Chain A
Amino acid sequence: MSRGLSAGRAVVGWWTRPVPLARVAVLRAAIYLFVLYDIFQLTNDVIPMAHAPELYHPTWVGRVLPLPEPSLLLAHVLQIVIVAGCLVAATGFLPRIAGWIVALAYFQWMVFSQGYGYVSHDHLALMVAVVVLPTIGRARFTDTDSSEPAGWAFRCIQVATIATYFASAIVKWVRSGSPATWANGAVFIWAIMRRGSDLVRWTIDYPWLLIIAQWGLILIEFLSPVVLWLKGKALYLAVVTFVGFHLMTYLALGIHFLPTVICWLAFLPLERLVPFAQRLIGGLRRRPPVPSGTA
């Protein structure tokens, strides 16, 4: 019984390991500013697609909840709400109210964006981040405390980030019958023939090379949960490996997965940026104005 209890305590402790509030402040600014980039650059199809409402075919959430049909007016209203909400929430002002407004509006935006047949797979961690950040509450760049609620939110973002890879390995297994069938197949050839850049087109003449790359990918996807327990240099190396993978798929296929990449920040000691930024700002303030004409 007591063994069960201590195991339970260990699990709870792992999910709520305290995180510095200054780290929260930095990640929050990064996530909310990224959401703005997302709605104007990545999921900006919501506005043009509102011109083709007959093709709207929402996923389960959109069918079960009494959500509105897409329209140009609603799309523009959502855009304004998300911009205002993100700008406020990024500063850390009204973290709960602004955060929840962003979460609701952004969810509706994404249900529209993903409601025309194709569902993209790079938004899992970002959507989790937008939902869990408002639960943390106040956190300033200059705070020195840590918080358990922040620990839970960060753990959720980390697990969602890792799930993006681990679950994709599981689906490959489910669809192919065995991981080897997938890895020994022609997926990369298929992808490069359909949308490969000039940088990688030459590789389709060397199928064995792409098969080795497929084995490498499925291997790091299956091993990805290990990252949740890495520390220090090993952790940084893992982050560089996964982010480097996205850089390669971007150069090769034009697929960047930036909404997942931004969530890798939740693994890093972001609070160390604060004194750095303070010195930078302080230095700029102390420096006397340089008269023009002298160099």
Chain B
Amino acid sequence: MWRLGVTGMALVTLTMGQLQDTNDYFPLGSLSQYATPRDLDGAVRSVYMMADTESGERVRVPLNPQGVGVGRADIEAQLDRIVDDPSLLQSIADAWTDLHPGADPYVRLYVMRSTYQLKDGIQQGEPDIEQLTTWEVRR
């Protein structure tokens, strides 16, 4: 009997997760992968990060487990929080030096966004590039 009770509670939570459209009930949250509708005349935005290194190069920050640990989707999900408080980016510079001790350290980080325009689903020209925020790395 407890089995059916637990099953029922899990199914109710899962259903609420979908109707409220929230990931917060993980692992019973919303299955919202690619659920957001996109306009055929809309824009395709993509967030990425760049960094100035100690040796003066401008490089792309590898937002993945082999790079700085945190992924692009993590940055996109917390974008408002990061723009409000760019000091959160310090931990990305720290993670880079911790995980790659011999590598060229970051001295400044940039959160960037590229925007492609669509018309009838077809890409129109080159993307717009914006800088959303920046952070000077503390040592």
Contact = CB atoms under 8 A, between A and B. Distances in A.
A60 B27 contact: no
Q: How large is the interface on A (under 10, 10 to 19, 20 to 34, 35 or more residues)?
A: 35 or more
A28 interface: no
Contacts of B73: 117-118
A268 interface: no
A51 B69 contact: yes
Contact of A182 (B3, B11, B35): B35
Interface stretch (B52-60, B90-98, B131-139): B90-98
Interface string A78-119: 000000000000000000000000000000001100101111
B23 to A, nearest CB: 4
A60 B28 CA distance: 11
Interface string B76-116: 11100100000010111011001100000000000000001
Interface string A112-137: 00101111011110011000000100
Contact of B74 (A12, A47, A55): A55
Interface stretch (A29-37, A187-195, A228-236, A287-295): A187-195
A170 B35 CA distance: 9
Contact of B40 (A127, A128, A193, A207): A207
Question: Main secondary structure on chain A at its contact with chain B?
Answer: helix
A204 interface: yes
A118 B35 CA distance: 15
Interface of A: 12, 15-16, 44-45, 47-49, 51-55, 57, 59-61, 110-111, 114, 116-119, 121-124, 127-128, 135, 149, 152, 156, 159, 163-165, 167-168, 170-172, 174-176, 181-182, 184-187, 189-191, 193-194, 204-205, 207, 210-211
**A-B CB proximity, top 9 nearest:** A207-B121, A48-B69, A117-B77, A118-B73, A52-B91, A168-B31, A119-B23, A186-B38, A176-B37
Given A60-B24, A167-B30, 6 more contacts: A116-B74, A156-B7, A171-B32, A185-B38, A186-B42, A193-B44
